[in-house]
């Protein structure tokens, strides 16, 4: 008879910006957990213990500076509720990880696994010195609202042109509305990718991995997938 251990670490996902990004992260955690466990994986009882909190108002993060107060209050409430149920949690939105310092200052009983920290771990482990960065406007301007500013001291970062950044921002809105599989979405994304000089592109937006890449497109690092693998490893610890 199979038994389940209650001592394994519990994982949380805060989503809503957008909800498909939370589903994508959840699915990637499941696949990573199966792969990491290998022959030890027995099915349901060995799947991670995951709590998902989806709050639509977090979608205001696309225009973060204009909605700072409302977004922070919403995220804080979600994190405080989540922290009562899990050991580790992630926010399935690169932009919202801007609030990492404020969340850590709350000293919640759960640990935030931040997207930029995991991305930096990957870049340093693989000795990557130059990347292109794609994401929503608050991320790619590398200004005071960007969670990815911390990468600047460690790696050379290529950003899209101002015109391409605006097209990318609208593309992300469109993926949120109609999905990444709709005709024209993939072609628009490929145009932005192909205009970059760097060989490696960091997808610092949870909507961008929802778009199938055209054959022959530049190599892309899906930060959502990196976070999923880290969460899966944590979920398999005791």
* Ordered strands of the 10-15 beta sheet: 49-54, 10-15, 88-91, 111-112
Q: How many CB atoms lie within 10 A of CB 141?
A: 16
Query: What pLDDT was estimated at residue 6?
Result: 60
Per-residue pLDDT tens digits of the chain, which is 238 residues long: 455 556 899 999 999 999 999 999 999 999 999 999 999 999 999 999 999 999 999 999 999 999 999 999 999 999 999 999 999 999 999 999 999 999 999 999 999 999 999 999 999 999 999 999 999 999 999 999 999 999 999 999 999 999 999 999 999 999 999 999 998 999 999 999 999 999 999 999 999 999 998 877 789 999 999 999 999 999 988 7
- 68-90 core/surface letters (b: 16 or more CB in 10 A; e: else): eeebbebbeebbeebbeebbbbb
- 208-236 core/surface letters (b: 16 or more CB in 10 A; e: else): bbbbebeeeeeebbbbbbbbbbbbbebbb
Query: What pLDDT was estimated at residue 1?
Result: 47
Structural class in CATH, domain 10-114+226-235? alpha beta
Query: What pLDDT was estimated at residue 237?
Result: 84
Residue 131's DSSP bridge partners are 157
The structural domains of the chain, with segments of one domain joined by +, span 10-114+226-235, 116-222
Query: What pLDDT was estimated at residue 5?
Result: 53
Are 173 and 165 in contact by the 8 Å Cβ rule? The answer is no
Structural class in CATH, domain 116-222? alpha beta
Record the pTM.
Answer: 0.95
Compute the CA torsion angle 59, 62, 64, 70 (nearest 10 deg).
-20
Query: What pLDDT was estimated at residue 215?
Result: 78
Tokens 């794609």, residue? 134
């Amino acid at each position: 008879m199979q038994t389940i251990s209650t001592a394994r670490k519990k994982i949380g996902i805060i989503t809503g910006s957008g909800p498909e990004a939370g589903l994508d992260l959840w699915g990637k955690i499941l696949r990573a957990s199966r792969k990491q466990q290998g022959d030890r994986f027995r099915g349901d009882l060995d799947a991670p213990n995951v709590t998902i909190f989806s709050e639509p108002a977090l979608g205001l993060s696309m225009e973060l500076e204009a909605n700072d107060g409302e977004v922070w209050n919403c995220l804080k409430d979600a994190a405080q509720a989540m922290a009562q149920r899990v050991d580790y949690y992630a926010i399935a939105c690169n932009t919202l990880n801007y609030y990492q310092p404020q969340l850590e200052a709350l000293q919640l009983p759960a640990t935030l696994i931040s997207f930029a920290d995991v991305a930096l771990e990957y870049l340093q482990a693989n000795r990557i010195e130059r990347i292109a960065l794609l994401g929503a406007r608050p991320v790619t301007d590398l200004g005071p609202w960007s969670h990815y500013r911390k990468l600047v001291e460690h790696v050379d970062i290529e950003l899209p042109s101002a015109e391409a950044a605006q097209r990318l921002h609208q593309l992300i809105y469109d993926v949120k509305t109609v999905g990444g599989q709709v005709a024209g979405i993939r072609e628009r994304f490929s145009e932005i990718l192909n205009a970059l000089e760097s060989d490696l592109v960091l997808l610092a937006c949870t909507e961008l991995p929802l778009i199938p890449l055209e054959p022959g497109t530049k190599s892309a690092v899906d930060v959502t997938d990196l976070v999923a693998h880290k969460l899966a490893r944590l979920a398999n610890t005791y």
